[in-house]
Structure 1
Amino acid sequence: MASGEELSPAGKMLLEPSMNCYVIATIGLKTRIDPQVIREGLSQTLLKHSRFTSKLAKEGGKIKWIPTRVELEKHIIVPEIDSNIEDPDRFVEDYISHFTKTSLDQSKPLWEVHLLNIKTSNAEAVAIFRIHHSLGDGASLISLLLAVTRKTSDPHALPTVPTQNRDSSHHSSSQFSCFFAIWWGLLLIWHTLVDMLLSLLTIFFIRDTPTPLKGAPGVGLNIKRFVNRTVSMDDIKLVKNQMQTDLADMMAEKSKVKWGNRMGYIILPFHIALYEDPLEYIRKAKDRIDRKKHSLEAICSYTCSKAVHNLLGAKVAAAMTERLLLNTTIAFSNVAGPVEEISFYGHPVAYIAPTVYGLSNALTIHFQSYANKMTISLAVDPLVIPDPYLLCDDLEQSLKLITDAVQRKNIVDLV
């Protein structure tokens, strides 16, 4: 058997029993699924990626990705579904929730796809990928997803993702530019030191204020429920333009995205307060995010986690990460998706809803853009959050209050 690539430190940590983290990607489709077309498509694309044709095995005392023969029928599951199901949406949610009770067989590559020919409120059928997080991080996996899809308008063209306009302006005075660069660098160092100290204190001492969203120790191993809600990107862009914020640019065109798990964490404090102006929440959040952008916290947290793993082992690194998550309240993540409609092996895509389970939070929120929509995915512990639909309603209502406030402000400005 050929020797393969060694499992990364982050990958080993994500395999620890205390985490055992999985990625779930639900893809709503606008047509019924032809399983044979999907099988042929996967064999021509996904199976050409070494990580999806390798299994984990110990070799020379190290855990490595060992190339293996993939039996596609063991990775593609097409369940028989009663066409008279009373609540299809709930059926799909229960189906995905059941994943959290089981683990993938490590004697084969750690991924599978479930094809559900069931009409829901937002799709004619649903494809569900379950992938162990040790295979890659969010940027890697969304890159792979884009690689196996095509534009609906052009079946031979790869999707495009939003790119961020860079400010090309510069100061004319070289003396001022030099002073600004030195000050910018000093602030970057200071912010990074403060942020890393806060992270260290959060691991060992600081805990978030108890709220109804806070999970207890062991929450990462509990059964989870997954729900999602899709909102219009027009509303989000309206707020973005008014508040002059940036949309995430996770993968620029022609950029080289390295495969693997290169994940860093940022601790983003949000204070509980009640403002008369809904836009004040955005202003406060923007100030905090702008401050965090001027810091190397994410890079340093990844580097420190890797160092802890190399010095003390995966169990200690996993325990420290688990404690960091447990002492905070919510995990956020977002990935920029295609700007136009795409097809999944000839099946037009209605929405994309990624999420994870295995983290030590009672609530994890993912934001995924697609075409002119944003899907908000919630992974919740039902013992802590028994009604995730109400939380979706609250998030949607909050967006409406904010957009209404922007529109009122625009009208006043015109007057």
Structure 2
Amino acid sequence: MEQQTENDEPLTPAGRLFLQPEMDQVINCVMGLKNPIDISAIKSEIGTSILTRHPRFTSLLVRDRRGVEHWRKTQIDLDRHVIVVDSAVPDDVGGDDEDAVNDYLADLAVSSPLSTDKPLWEIHLVMAQNCIVFRIHHSLGDGISLMSMLLSCCRRADDADALPCMNGTKSRERNGTERRRWSWRVWEFVKVVWFTVVFVVGLMGRCLWVKDKKTAVSGGAGVELWPRKMATARFSLDDMKVVKKAIPDATINDVLFGVISSGLSRYLDIRSGKALQEGLQITGLAMVNLRKQPGLQDMENLMKGNWKVRWGNQFGMLLLPVYYYRGGSDPLQYLKRAKVMIDQKKHSLEAPFSYKMGDLVMSYLGPKAATLLNYRVVCNTTFTISNVLGPPEEITAVGNPVTYLRASLSSLPHAITMHMLSYAGRADMQIMVAKDIIPDPKVLAKCFEDALLELKEAATATTKSIGGN
């Protein structure tokens, strides 16, 4: 035992945060398959994959006498990690496969924590719905790390020997002559300082007392324990690219937040009528990857057995406000407002600051203080949003074509959480809600889908108008 204790590895501060009861988070990623699941083939693939060799996935969570968490190496028993489920719903319950899987994930989000007597991951094989649910505790890594791990077990559909890839974000080219370069840099520095101060003060305010006004989609302390429902909003990346081209220098993330702003406004019109004041701020909370390398690089190095690559939870927190407006004559206004907001965030160090502050608070004041601050930020905002890039091409799992990839998290004090994952030209957004607050998540999903179509129609009309002139 003494030798084992010496070899134990302490958790990172972010990993410890995700193990606190108020912030306990499990990532649930579902992979739909075209053909029936071959249980023995899946187990064989898992047994030879990185999943059963990576230090984080082959370690138990243990606590020392002071209550500090550590990782301790152990042996993997696949039969305890691979769970075969005949169907996502009982035989006497109707509904289609998508509803069944979403209901299954919604139940997992509040009622099925991972056992600490084995490494903190499970794989559920849902036979009737032909899907695999990967349940991985957030303390093992963030979305980028875990997507890399997941894709390392898959292959491209057009090349059975090739690994899938994850699109990295291309840096924007900066225009300007050499004569303007120094003045441009000075102006950029001034903007970074200004927006960092403004947004950091705003983040600290959310930790203390500042909160969104109450609406039909607001959560609060204790809501993480309420029953959940889930729906899926489906988007075409081609449609999002059409919208993106309507506004100079816009990005897919700009379009996403334009869609969220428009979709939430539509839904609040349905639920609240004209009771809300135009311009009402609805604040989202997003986690931003702080790695210099994209997830693909992590995956390639892991395949080579290099365990010292960047891994774990390396992300910062961003407050992303959107605003309620009733439908007007120009739907692209939602995109324009979203772009201004996101451009300002890009000029700030809010995300790195939040990561460093969380690290310091956890290290010097302990997990209770860090959890309290993070929990208050969640309670004082309205929704969670994440956007992870999946493989741009179709992939297979053990030779079985993958039809969709979707992701979600355990429940939070927010009444609405949204997690978008792209795959092969499509993007599915899992919308999980507290069903006693938002009883109709399918209506909300339809509001988002209609918002994108309306933005696409407006963007197409704008492009034709410009071309005609």
TM bin, normalised by shorter chain, reads over 0.9
Match of 1:378 in 2: 431
Question: After the TM superposition, which of the residue ranges 324-333 and 55-64 deviates more from structure 2?
Answer: 55-64
The answer on whether the counterparts of 1:19 and 1:220 sit within 8 Å (CA) in structure 2 is no
1:161 aligns with 2:169: no
Contact 1:357 1:379 in 2 (8 A): no
Specify the code of the residue in structure 1 equivalent to 2:382. Answer: T
In structure 1, runs of 5+ residues without a counterpart are 120-124
**Considering only aligned residues, what root-mean-square deviation do their CA atoms show, in Å?**
2.0
Alignment check: 8 A CA contact 2:106 2:432 kept:
no
Which residue in the other structure is 2:413 paired with? 360
TM-score w.r.t. the length of structure 2 is 0.83
User: What is aligned with 1:122?
Assistant: none
Deviation, structure 1 residue 221: 2.4
Distance 1:40 1:400, change over 3 A: same
CA distance in 2, matches of 1:282, 1:169: 22
Post-superposition CA distance 1:47-69 (Å, at most 9, x none): 01111111101247431111111
Q: Tell me if 1:392 matches 2:445.
A: yes
| Aligned partner of 2:79 among 69, 73, 76 | 73
Q: Which amino acid aligns with 2:69?
A: I
SS of 2:353 mapped into structure 1: helix
Partner SS, residue 98 of structure 1? helix
C-alpha separation between the residues in 2 aligned to 1:224 and 1:302?
Answer: 29
> Percent same amino acid among aligned pairs?
33
Per the alignment, do residues 135 and 180 of structure 1 end up closer, same or farther by CA in structure 2, a change over 3 Å counting? same
Amino acid at match of 1:70: I
Q: State the 1:83 CA deviation.
A: 7.4
The reply on whether 1:135 has 2:135 as its aligned counterpart is no
Q: 2:325 aligns with which of 268, 273, 290?
A: 273
2:131 aligned residue? 126
Equivalent of 2:457 in 404, 412, 415? 404
Contact 2:421 2:427 in 1 (8 A): yes
Matched residue SS, 1:404 = helix
Unaligned runs of 5+ in 2: 254-287, 299-308
Distance of 1:91 and 1:204 partners within structure 2 = 40
**C-alpha spacing 1:65/1:143, structure 2 compared with 1 (3 Å):** same
SS in 1 for 2:442: helix
The alignment status of 1:327 with 2:352, answered yes or no, reads: no
Q: For 1:254 and 1:73, how far apart are their aligned partners in 2? A: 29
For 1:212-251, what aligned pairs fall within 5 Å after superposition? 212-243=216-247, 244-247=249-252
Distance 1:168 1:270, change over 3 A: closer
Partner of 2:345: 292
Q: Describe the SS at the equivalent of 2:60.
A: strand
Q: What do the CA deviations read for 1:384-410 (whole angstroms, capped 9, x no partner)?
A: 111111111111111111111112222
CA distance in 2: counterparts of 1:406 and 1:245, whole angstroms: 12
Scaled by the length of structure 1, what TM-score is found? Answer: 0.93
Q: In the alignment, what sits opposite 1:93?
A: 102
Is 2:57 aligned against 1:47?
A: no
Contact 2:145 / 2:295 at 8 angstroms: preserved in 1?
A: no
Tell me the SS of whatever aligns to 1:271: strand
One-letter identity of the residue aligned with 1:332: I
**1:152 aligns with one of 145, 152, 157:** 157
Between 1:184-193 and 1:313-322, the stretch displaced more is 184-193
Task: Render the CA deviation track for 1:74-116: whole Å, top value 9, x for unaligned.
Answer: 1111123377863233332332223221221101111101111
| Residue 120 of structure 2 is aligned to residue 115 of structure 1 | no
Q: CA deviation at 1:151?
A: 0.4
Looking at structure 2, the residues matched to 214 and 92 of structure 1 have their Cα atoms a distance apart, in angstroms, of: 25
Matching residue of 1:414 = 467
Distance in structure 1 (CA, Å) of the matches to 2:61 and 2:48: 23
> Do 1:202 and 1:327's aligned partners in 2 also have CA atoms closer than 8 Å?
yes
Residues 185-220 of structure 1: per-residue CA shift (max 9 Å, x gap): 122122111111000111112111211110131112
Mapped partners of 1:253, 1:310: distance in 2:
27
Match for 1:225: what amino acid? K
Q: Which amino acid aligns with 1:153?
A: D
CA distance in 2, matches of 1:189, 1:84: 60
Tell me if structure 1 keeps the 8 A contact 2:155–2:161.
yes
**Which whole-Å deviations, capped at 9, do the CAs of 1:164-187 have from their partners, x for residues lacking one?**
44445554435x312221221122
